[in-house]
Structure formats: structure tokens, C-alpha cells
Amino acid sequence: MPDMTFAEAIKDAHVVEMERDPNIYIAGEDVGVFGGCFGVTAGLLDQFGEKRVKDTTITESAIVGTAVGAASAGLRPVIELMFVDFIGVALDQLYNQAGKMKYMFGGKAKIPMVMRTACGAGIGAAAQHSQCLEALFMHLPGLKVVMPSTPYDAKGLLIEAIRDDNPVVFLEHKMLYAMEGEVPSGAYTIPFGQADIKRQGKDVTIVATANMVHTALGAAEKLAADGISLEVVDPRTLYPLDGETIFESVKRTHRLVILHEEVKFAGSGAEIAAQVAEEAFDYLDAPILRVAAPFCPVPFSPPLEKAYIPSEQQLIDAVKKVMA
Amino acid sequence: MPDMTFAEAIKDAHVVEMERDPNIYIAGEDVGVFGGCFGVTAGLLDQFGEKRVKDTTITESAIVGTAVGAASAGLRPVIELMFVDFIGVALDQLYNQAGKMKYMFGGKAKIPMVMRTACGAGIGAAAQHSQCLEALFMHLPGLKVVMPSTPYDAKGLLIEAIRDDNPVVFLEHKMLYAMEGEVPSGAYTIPFGQADIKRQGKDVTIVATANMVHTALGAAEKLAADGISLEVVDPRTLYPLDGETIFESVKRTHRLVILHEEVKFAGSGAEIAAQVAEEAFDYLDAPILRVAAPFCPVPFSPPLEKAYIPSEQQLIDAVKKVMA
Amino acid sequence: MDLTNEQLIQMYTTMVKIRTFENRVAELFADGKIPGFVHLYVGEEAVATGVCENLTDKDYITSTHRGHGHLIAKGGDIKKMMAELFGKETGYCKGKGGSMHIADLDLGIMGANGIVGGGPPLASGAALACQYMGNDNVAVCFFGDGASNQGTTHEAMNMAACWKLPVVFINENNMYGISCCTTKSMCVPNIADRAAGYDIPGVVVDGNDAVAVWEAAAEGINRARQGKGPSLIECKTYRHRGHFEGDPCTYRDDAELEEWKEKDPIPRLEQKLLEMELLTQSKIEKIKQELQKDLTAAEQFAEESPYPDISGLLEDVYT
Amino acid sequence: MDLTNEQLIQMYTTMVKIRTFENRVAELFADGKIPGFVHLYVGEEAVATGVCENLTDKDYITSTHRGHGHLIAKGGDIKKMMAELFGKETGYCKGKGGSMHIADLDLGIMGANGIVGGGPPLASGAALACQYMGNDNVAVCFFGDGASNQGTTHEAMNMAACWKLPVVFINENNMYGISCCTTKSMCVPNIADRAAGYDIPGVVVDGNDAVAVWEAAAEGINRARQGKGPSLIECKTYRHRGHFEGDPCTYRDDAELEEWKEKDPIPRLEQKLLEMELLTQSKIEKIKQELQKDLTAAEQFAEESPYPDISGLLEDVYT
Ligand SMILES: Cc1ncc(C[n+]2csc(CCOP(=O)(O)OP(=O)(O)O)c2C)c(N)n1
Ligand SMILES: Cc1ncc(C[n+]2csc(CCOP(=O)(O)OP(=O)(O)O)c2C)c(N)n1
Ligand SMILES: [Mg+2]
Ligand SMILES: [Mg+2]
């Protein structure tokens, strides 16, 4: 298996699928000549031409909205929203149109589209270019929400997303783009709604997403030395959410700490905690803790940004607390 | 104390405050001549004139955005977003601009504005005019989120909102507009972050918002006959959220059921459940249950819409489950 | 004028069909048979009719909250429409959508839309699909004077212009967005004046003259079919009824309404066809009777159909 | 031309100040001293300078992601700016904002903005406050060619026109929105052509001619001060550097850049002032030395200032 970066794995998913299905097109700001703000689509314009790789004006409502219209008329758009923070200017077309059409029309519409977008802090991009907003998308019926943590998962989940007949929000944490990992060539899919146990353990279940999976794995390595065994569960898709795998893990470990980068308050971890507090309550031996960003915009200054992003140490502290 | 409807109480808050402070203005679609889609602002144009009661074009981004600009330049706008469902076309100005300015600017901005908006199902207005979306606003730092359940609370909370120097989202459930209740004349405020115990009880804590408070009170009445005593806690503001009052209640009752109209998945109840699972875990004698709308857009047809809205019976069933 | 006699009669019939449908909906709403919001098209029939007479089932339209006329003109089935308005299982959307969301994708009807300005990007998207697939189908976007000020409209028109998409933007300027008169919502006399900002044709037409609408639309639509890109056609018209049923209409003059009733598109076309001897009073009667029969059948169908079973509440969210 | 000699020299000085600031920022960024994204204003100095020469501290501006020039022209303190770029406690935003969010509300600078199209509604709002308070202050909105296509821009301009708000929209048409050339993002030759859609004046000006910019802006700003409503002024210009520092600029020709460098606004004004004998080579040297001194001091200030303490992370979210 070749090694690829996360960004290359995502590009590869595009290539594999675009070669298979001529109705797939890509559109977004600077996805063509420029190759994408993070280089993900570099080279696709040369390979597939202007018809299928469309540079757009800076009009996110129209980018999303034309994708919805095109999807409902038979195409399979894969669009890029440069930063997830920009969703505020385009949310209506995503949630009131794409997400609801099928239901409002009594089941007859089919909106096969993917909106890829970069999220997350870590590059000093400040408050309007650094957020994680997965909880927003989770709450909106009609959308699926994908958040990969490895190159392998990214490719398999993106191919699955492209083949899915529903609108899918595909969240790419920008600190992962350069990460390398083994990625099979050719097509393969990872089904939605299947969490992946990234590390098995017996003392505490950690549910973590995106690059926080790696923070959790780092903590697991350290704590292993102290004789504490973490099980790291990566939901991979937040809707559908694989509650079962999480509950099963908690039933084994009896302890749960949730780790994510978006702000804690009303974040994705709240839903996970609430589900466990309902479905696996009797197995819990300790309060459910969440380690997540504090309730503030993402600050610019490097030390502040670093303090904002949940750390391995914070996770370790939380683990020690639930073990106490 | 005079009896007023919820709508009248809200209007009265406007009148009291606009008389006090000439820098308050109202703007929104049809708030003037028409008196507001739900009649809330009827008569204010005559009373305060065109300068202070502004009918706008149908351009929500500009309505919100001009309010943000005006607020940062010294005015105190109270704007109406006709239905909360429309936030998708205006979210950026609310969360990337209003909500973050103060922080991004290192504390120097002051954005005293209120965005009032109607939410909720019950009038057959279908998928794009019926949602509750409080969880979205809760998750966005810089905003405060208010959701009253009675005419008294509505007036006191709106006056507080207007006097607050931060952007406040004020959610008015449309099934409450006609509800009557005692409302003091003149100015009074209800501080944010103070939950109200709408009914005291000892067996199960119910945390409910907006019109679901009344559903909970109805269930409490019925269950009292069976000897089950519900404590009904109304957070009134979702950010800031008065966790303490909820925890204290749970510490007394040892059981929690959360009731809200928005969809359950990643809804406001998830945050409440998660906080209790962290802060009052040791006091819980039963899983935390959430009774809320299912994960679908709001359907139009009356029987479907009725089935969509969480019911007294569903709450009673949940209570019996945690009591079992 | 290239309209055949059959087309003229067809257009007349469609307009009367819309009118009788809408008038009956008003009654049924007042009687409490139809829940929710309904926004009626009475007075504006010439627009949808004149435009859709140029379209086939393979062409797309996006509609608005005021969608019944567009749907009927595009060939929508009034039985399924009426059943949907009643919230019944047999409706277009199984009762899940209601007036503001009726759609018939088989006929290229991409749905009424509850979001003002929601349609333009969707129409550009459907047009993109037509262009991409290399056929000569087109998309038509109906939108109101109020919607013309929404950012989405600007964005969608500009993108359509840049990509030369086969889409025609049909502005229905009925002078009001709820209570907000165009004298307050814009400073230019014509919405079509904005077309120049995208270098696309901008045409103003008497929206109460079905033939004039047809002609203007024909030109725009043919242009689009030939790959020459989008255009904007503004149809000046007026709604006879309130914004929604129940609207007391305090924001406008009775005199204004009366003036526009003088320009009612239906008597106007009727007069013309009588003069052309394409219609006679008895033929008119026959047309109306037939339409009335269909309408009664539709109403009965709606009335007798069951409500959806609540077991289907969670169906149709995902494929 | 009503510019005084002092003003002309002031404008020249401001432009050089921006240029030297930006060039130094480029170096500091390359050296890793400045984190995040920086978008430099090199080549466009005449726009901010010509416009802001018409403004007082009581007037408002909204800026963009490419905001340093606007800030300096409006009187921003380069010490606090540089400290902010470094992410230091002493910066304009205590290090919380960075390049894309520098603001100085005391000077009416409503902030750089990371959202393309984020500024226009804010500017209309500030203008509304001026109108409401009955003073003759104005708001100026800087926005790019890319931003001109955003829906928010359309909405804000239309609302400003309807309400006759004292706001001037200054379009900085540098021909690109990142890699997207205006030949692909719009079909009209001038963004100012869109002003007609709001019945407001639309003016095109050579954005590399500071005096011409000043004149056009003076007219729009005076109009606004007199309560006559908004206007749109398009300044044709070019950015010499990449979209952001690090941009390889593969999407545009070196020849194009060279052509525009010929039109560099600074030598142009310099030449003029030399001809007018308002400047001499030695005076120029002196200006540059002074600016260099200030810049060095700013850099040193930034360098020596502490990073914010992480205890302040949760401060400044709410009042
Ligand atoms: C985004 C959004 N804003 C506001 C509304 C509320 N609303 C529904 S219809 C309407 C007026 C629309 O006016 P216009 O576009 O002229 O269409 P008309 O009703 O005249 O046919 C408004 C404001 C909405 N549905 N969506
Ligand atoms: C809503 C939004 N979309 C996209 C971006 C990414 N972005 C930042 S600057 C830029 C180009 C802006 O072009 P223009 O308005 O012409 O300004 P210029 O950079 O040329 O000064 C883009 C696409 C953004 N910041 N915000
Ligand atoms: Mg209208
Ligand atoms: Mg540009």
C-alpha cells in the first residue's frame, strides 16, 4: 500500500470517483488553477478539464445552491467550501434546501452532493478561519456529517460520501492535511455509521474526532506507561453516529471521556455524552467528562491558540479524574 | 397586575425601553405598517415614527449586518428575523461578526443588539417555517440565547436583553404568542442565567423550554394524581445556562428528563444532559432521558406535525421509565 | 407572434384553471379545510402561463411561496396539489410539504420554496445540469420583487452569466413583498435594470398580458436553449388578494387594487380571443365547466383521501 | 483639485508608510516572525490613502482581509498594528485578532474582516448610526472585486440606497479574488456599472492615481455628508504581491505584473510632487528615513512585547 498524505488521499478519492462517473463535477473557489486553498484539488483541472473542475466566484450561497439544483437534476457535485467558518453565508441552501428537499417533497428528491470543507485551529488563522462546527451540521436533519482522522479513512469515507445519494458534509481538519498513512490505491469505501476503535483498551473509553484522535492516541501511549489502558473510539461519521460501538466500549470500560476540538458547550460531545447517559448509564462508574475547546472564538496569538486547542495533558488529567 | 398576552408583553418591553432610550430602534421585515408577521410590533410605528421603527427590504444579511454596524457605532438595534428558519441566509453577520467582534478586537467592541425571532411548530407552516434552532445559537460563542415561556418572563427577559451590551438571540415560540398571563406594567428585568423553577417537586426533575414548559406542567398535574411529583425547571436562558439550579434540583430528585421541541439529536438537551452527567452524576438514580422532536424536518400535515411535537404523553412515559 | 390558435386557447384555459383553483383554495382556507399558510396567485396568472407555454416537461422551473400558478402552468396535477394542500397522503408530497413545498420533479418542477430568494441558486444549478449534459433543456426561475433584493439572487444571476447557463430569471413584480412596496425596497423603476450589472438581457413586460409574457419568455428561453446564456425578464403584475390568506392588506389602497383589476389578465386574453373568434361565449362556458368539474373532482379527491399515517413521520429524510 | 500642498505631501507620506510597512511585514512573515495569514496591500496604496484623506476620526471605515493599508491611512498606530501581527499583548487586539481582525474603534476603524463581503452590511449599519444621530459623519466600505459578487454586498448597497445612508462603497478592483480573475467572476467591464441597479452614482477611477482617487472619493463622501445617499467608486488597481504571503501566483502573468508596476502609485505621485516642487530628493529621503525609524521602533516594540497571558483566553467574549 502506498503512503499518502491526508490531502493526497482526498484527492485520490476524487480521481477514482471522477474516472468512474462522468456526472461528478467539482466546484469551488480556487479549486482549479490554484489547486485549492490547501492544495487538495491540485492537478484535477489538468486531468479532468474545465467542465468538471469549476472555479467559481466568491459566492458561497450560489456555490452550494447550484450544487443542490444540479444534484436534483441528475449531477453529483462535490463542492469545496474553503473554510467551514464561511458556512454562515451559505447555510440556507444547505439546510433549508439540500437537507429538506427530499422530506418536503414526500421522498421524491435525491440530492447526491458532497460539501468538503476545511476546519480547525492550529495555523494562526484566527476567529473566522479556525472553527470546528460539526455540532451545527449534526443538528440539521437531512445532512450526513463525516469527520475523518486518517488518510485511509478520509479516502474511503469520501468515496462513500460521493456515492451516497444524500447531501454530505465532509469536514477536513487542516492540521491533518500533511499527515501520512497507508492508503490502498483504487476504490474502497468505509460505510457511514461505523465507528472505528483506533486503539483497544480496558480502563477508559475515549471518544475523539479528527486530529483529536491522535491526541488521544498520544495520551494512551503515555498512560500505558502508568498502567492505564485507554480505548480510543473514532466515530468517523457524526451523523449517522454509531452509538452502539461507543456504548459497547463504555460497557467494557465503565468510564467515558469525550475529546473534541470544537467548543464544549453544545458541541458534538454533548450528544455523545447524552446518549451514553441514557443508554449505558448503568455501566458507568464515573461522571462523563468532556475535554474540548473553551467557550470563546479562536484566538490568533500562538500561545492563546495553543491554550485553546485541547491538549494531551488536559485529556490525561480528565482520565485521571474519572479513574480516581 | 394587568393580564397580557405573550405578544403584548414583548411589545410592552419595546415600548418601555424605547421610551427610556432614544438610541433603540427596531428594524425588520413588515415590523412597521404591517405590525409584524405575528403582530408583535403593531402600533409601534405610530408611536415612535419611521426613524425608530424601520421596515426593511427582504435581505436578512443586511438587516442583521446593519444592526451589527449600527450597534458598534453606538445604537441599540432590536431587529426581528421573521422566522428563525431564515437564519441560514444571515448567520454569518450574527456569529462571525456580531458574536466575535469583541473578542477579535481584544475586548474593545460593544455590540448591544437583540435579534428577536419566531420559532416552533404547531401552525402547519411546514419545514422552512417551523423549526426550533436554539442549539445552533448556543454553540456560537459571543451570543446570548434567551427562550421565554410566559408573558411575564418574556417582558422581563426582553428588557434585560435590550439593556445587555452583547448580541442576544431572543427566541419566541409562536404557539405562545396568544398565551395570557400577569405582567407588571413598567420596566423590570429578569437576569440572564437564572433558571426558574416553574413547579416544585421531589421525584423527577424536568428541564423544559418555551412552550414545552407548559407541556411539562400539564404532565406534572396529571402525574400528581398518580402520586408522582415533578419539579419543572425552566432555564429561560440557554446561554448563559444556569447549570447550578438544574444540578441542585437533580440532587434532590435524583432523576432527570429533558423536554424540548427542537430535534433531540445534538439539541439543547444534549448539553444539559452532558452537564448533569458530569456535575451531578453521583446523585443520579436513573438514566437521563430526553423527550424531543424526532430527527426529521417539520412535516406539514396536521397529524404528522402533531406527532412531531413532543407530547405530554411522551413525557409521562419517560417519567414512568425513570421511576421504574 | 408565433403562438398557434391552440396555444392561445390553451393559455386561456390554463389561466382560468389557475384562477378557479386559487379562488376555491381561498374558500377552503377560510373554511378551515386547508391548514398553514397559503399565498395565492390571483391576478398574476399571465406570468406563469405565458412563460410555461414555452417549456417542455424536460425543462426545469423553480418556484416560490406563491407557487400554485407556476405548478399548474407547468402541468402539475391539481388533484395531487389539492390533496397536498389538505395535508393528505395522496398529495404531491404525501402531505409532508404543503402549499409552500409542492414539487413534481418528473415534470421539472423543483418545488415551491418557503425561502424568499431560495430558488435562484437552485435554478442556476438545474441549468448547469442541462449545460453539463449537453441537451437543450433550460431552467426558469420565478422570483418576486422582494426576492430580487436578496443576496442569493445577485449571486445566482452573476454565476449564471459567468457560466452562460441556460436559465431565464422571471421576475414577478407585483409591487409588494408582503407590506413592503417596491417604492421602498428599491430605487430603480425596474428590476430588469439590474441585468446590465451582469451583461445579460433585461426586459420589462406587461405581466398581465399573457401574449406579451409569452413573447418575451420565448426570446429568453430560445436564447438559453441556443447556449447564449441567461436573461432576466421582469413582468409587471399585481396580486389581487392579500399576501397570504388572512392578510387584511392595510398597507395598500383599494383604489390601487381596483385599477389593477381593470387590467386583469384573464378578461384581457378572453377579449382578445373573442375578437379573434377563437373563443365564443359558449366555448368559454364549456371550458369553465370542464375546469370546474376537474376542480370539484380534485377537491373531492383531497377531501376523501386519508391523512398520512404517523408511522411515516421519519421516512423520506434520507435515501 | 482642492488638495492643499500639505495634504499632497501627507498622502505621499502615507503611501510610502504603507509600502514600507507591508514590505517589512513580508520579510517578517518569511522569517517566521508573523504567524497566520497576511494579505499585503503593496501596489494599492493610492486607494486607501486617497479615500481616507477625506475622512476624520469620527468617520467609519470597514476593511477587508487586506486591511493594513486602510488602517494606516485611517490613522492606525503601526506600533499596535505590528504588535498585533506578532500576536503580542500590546497589539491592537491584545493578540487575539491578528492581521485579519485589527480594529481601532476610537478611530472609526471597524476592523479588518476575514469574511469576504462581511464589511458592506457593517458599513451601512455605521452609516445608519450617523444618519440616526443626525451628525454629518459617514462610513466608507472598502471591498474587493471578489467581494462585489457576494450577496451581502448587493443587499447592503440596496438598503443603503433605499435609506439614503451616508456610506461610500469603495471597490478595490485589483483584478483577482485569489486566483479568480474578474474576466471569470463577472461579465461587465466595471463593478461600478452595478450602481445603476440601485440608482446611486457609480464611478470608475484610476486606483493608482492617489489624486484621482481623492477627487472621486471627495465627491462621494461630500454627497454622503450632505444627506444625498450612498455611492459606489471603483478603483482599478493591482496587487504586486501574491494573494497572501506564500502564494506562488501561478495564475497570472509576470508580464501583467510588470505592466502594473509601471503604473506603481508611489513613483507616480512622487513624480508629480517633484514636478510641483513640493518634494525634493532630500525631502523624500527624510520622509523615508523618518518612516523607517518609526517602523523600526514598531518592530522593536512588537518584538519586545510579551505574548498575552493565557489567563486571558476567556476574557473579552462578553461585556
Ligand atoms: C428568507 C426569507 N425571508 C422572509 C420570508 C417571509 N416572506 C415570505 S413571502 C415574503 C414576501 C416576498 O415578496 P416577493 O418576493 O415580492 O413575492 P410575492 O409574495 O410578492 O409573490 C416574505 C417577506 C421568507 N419566507 N424567507
Ligand atoms: C465568505 C468568504 N469566502 C471566501 C473567503 C476566502 N478568501 C479570502 S480573500 C479571498 C479573495 C477576495 O478577493 P477580493 O474581494 O477581490 O479581495 P482581494 O484579495 O483581491 O483584495 C477569498 C476567496 C473568505 N475569506 N470569506
Ligand atoms: Mg412581490
Ligand atoms: Mg481582488
Superfamily of domain C5-302: Thiamin diphosphate (ThDP)-binding fold, Pyr/PP domains (3.40.50.970)
Q: Is the pLDDT of residue B95 over 60?
A: yes
- Chain D residues closer than 8 Å to B164 by CB: 319
Cβ contacts of C196 on chain D, cutoff 8 Å = 188, 193, 196-197
Question: At residue A101, what is the residue type?
Answer: M
B318, pLDDT greater than 70: yes
CA A297 and chain centroid, separation:
20
Residue whose C-alpha cell is 454596524: B69
Contact B295 A141 (CB under 8 A): yes
pLDDT recorded at residue D5? 97
The predicted model gives A78-89 an average pLDDT of: 98
Res. A199: pLDDT tops 90: yes
Give the pLDDT mean for D39-58: 98
> Does the interface ipTM go beyond 0.95?
yes
> DSSP state, B128?
T
pLDDT score of C1 = 57
Q: What is the pLDDT of residues A268-293, one digit of tens each?
A: 999 999 999 999 999 999 999 999 99
Cell of B181: 398571563
pLDDT, residue A1, reads 73
> pLDDT confidence of D1, banded at 50, 70, 90?
low
Per residue in A125-174, pLDDT (tens digit) is 999 999 999 999 999 999 999 999 999 999 999 999 999 999 999 999 99
Q: What would the pLDDT profile of B234-284 be if each residue is shown by its tens digit?
A: 999 999 999 999 999 999 999 999 999 999 999 999 999 999 999 999 999
Per-residue model confidence as pLDDT tens digits over C83-112: 999 999 999 999 999 999 999 999 999 999
Is A129 a known active-site residue? yes
Q: pLDDT band at residue A205, thresholds of 50, 70 and 90?
A: very high
CATH 3.40.50.720 fits B196-323, yes or no: no
Residue that is written with C-alpha cell 409552500 in the block? C100
| pLDDT digits 0-9 by tens, B214-237 | 999 999 999 999 999 999 999 999
CA of D144 to the centre of ligand 4 (A): 5
DSSP-assigned letter for residue B229: -
Distance in angstroms (rounded) separating the CA atoms of residues C73 and C78 = 11
CB contact under 8 A, C96 and A105: yes
Give the whole-number percent of chain C exceeding pLDDT 70.
100
Tell whether the model's pLDDT for residue A121 goes beyond 80.
yes
Domain A3-182 has CATH 3.30.470.20: no
D186: chain C residues, CB-CB within 8 Å: 158, 161-162, 198
Contacts of B95 (CB under 8 A, 6+ apart): A88, B140, B142, B143
- Give percent above pLDDT 70 in chain B: 100
Ligand (nearest to CA of C178) = 1
Please count the residue pairs, one from chain A and one from chain C, whose beta carbons lie less than 8 angstroms apart.
Answer: 146
Which listed ligand is nearest to B81 at the C-alpha? 1
Partner residue opposite D156 with nearest CB, options B62, B107, B110: B62
Does ligand 2 have an atom closer than 6 angstroms to the CB of D22? no
Determine if ligand 2 sits within 6 Å of the CB of residue A80. Answer: no
**Residue B2 confidence (pLDDT):** 80
Convert chain D into a string of H (helix), E (strand) and C (coil).
Answer: CCCCHHHHHHHHHHHHHHHHHHHHHHHHHHCCCCCCCCCCCCCCHHHHHHHHCCCCCCCEEECCCCCHHHHHHCCCCHHHHHHHHHCCCCCCCCCCCCHHHCCEHHHCECCCCCCCCCHHHHHHHHHHHHHHHCCCCCEEEEEECCHHHCHHHHHHHHHHHHCCCCEEEEEEECCEECCEEHHHHCCCCCHHHHHHHHCCCEEEEECCCHHHHHHHHHHHHHHHHCCCCCEEEEEECCCCCCCCCCCCCCCCCHHHHHHHHHCCHHHHHHHHHHHCCCCCHHHHHHHHHHHHHHHHHHHHHHHHCCCCCHHHCCCCCCC
Question: Is there a contact between B86 and C317 if contact means CB atoms under 8 Å apart?
Answer: no
For position A16, what pLDDT does the model report?
Answer: 98
Is D2's pLDDT higher than 90? no
Residues 6+ apart with CB under 8 A from A170: A114, A115, A116, A117, A146, A157, A158, A161
- Closest residue in B to A322 (Cα) is B278
C-alpha closest to that of D60 among D10, D114, D119: D119
Give me the pLDDT at residue B48, please: 98
The pairing of beta strand A196-199 with beta strand A237-239: unpaired
Residue D113 C-alpha, separation from nearest chain A C-alpha, in angstroms? 8
C-alpha B116 to ligand 1 mean position (Å): 18
Tens-digit pLDDT profile for residues B103-159: 999 999 999 999 999 999 999 999 999 999 999 999 999 999 999 999 999 999 999
Residue B130, chain A, CB below 8 Å: the answer is no
pLDDT over 70 at A222, yes or no = yes
What contacts A257, CB < 8 A, 6 or more positions away? A204, A205, A206, A207, A288, A289, A290, A291, A315, A318, A319, A322
What's at D262, amino acid-wise? E
Instruction: Identify the pLDDT of residue C2.
Output: 87
Cβ C232 vs Cβ C195: under 8 Å? yes
Q: Which residues of C touch B58 (CB under 8 A)?
A: 116-117, 146-147, 149-150, 177, 180, 185
Do the strands A53-55 and A76-83 form a parallel or antiparallel pair, or are they unpaired?
unpaired
Encode pLDDT of B18-31 as tens digits: 999 999 999 999 99
Q: Please give the average per-residue pLDDT across D232-254, as a whole number.
A: 97
Is B1 a residue whose pLDDT tops 80? no
Q: In the predicted model, what is the mean pLDDT of chain B?
A: 98
Mind listing the pLDDT tens digit for each residue in B278-308?
Answer: 999 999 999 999 999 999 999 999 999 999 9
Q: Is the CB of D235 under 6 A from ligand 2?
A: no
Q: Give the integer Cα–Cα distance in Å for A257 and A244.
A: 16
The string of pLDDT tens digits covering residues B176-228 is: 999 999 999 999 999 999 999 999 999 999 999 999 999 999 999 999 999 99
Q: Which of A69, A102, A144 is opposite residue C123, by nearest beta carbon?
A: A69
Q: Of the candidates D181, A24, A73, which has an alpha carbon nearest to the alpha carbon of residue C167?
A: A73
Tell me whether domains B3-182 and B196-323 share a fold.
Answer: yes
Phi, psi of B148 (to 5 degrees): -80, 160
State yes or no: cis peptide before B141, omega within 30 of 0.
no
pLDDT tens digit sequence for C25-82? 999 999 999 999 999 999 999 999 999 999 999 999 999 999 999 999 999 999 999 9
Asked if residue A167 has a cis previous peptide bond (ω within 30° of 0), the answer is: no
The domain segmentation of chain A, as residue ranges, is: 3-182, 196-323
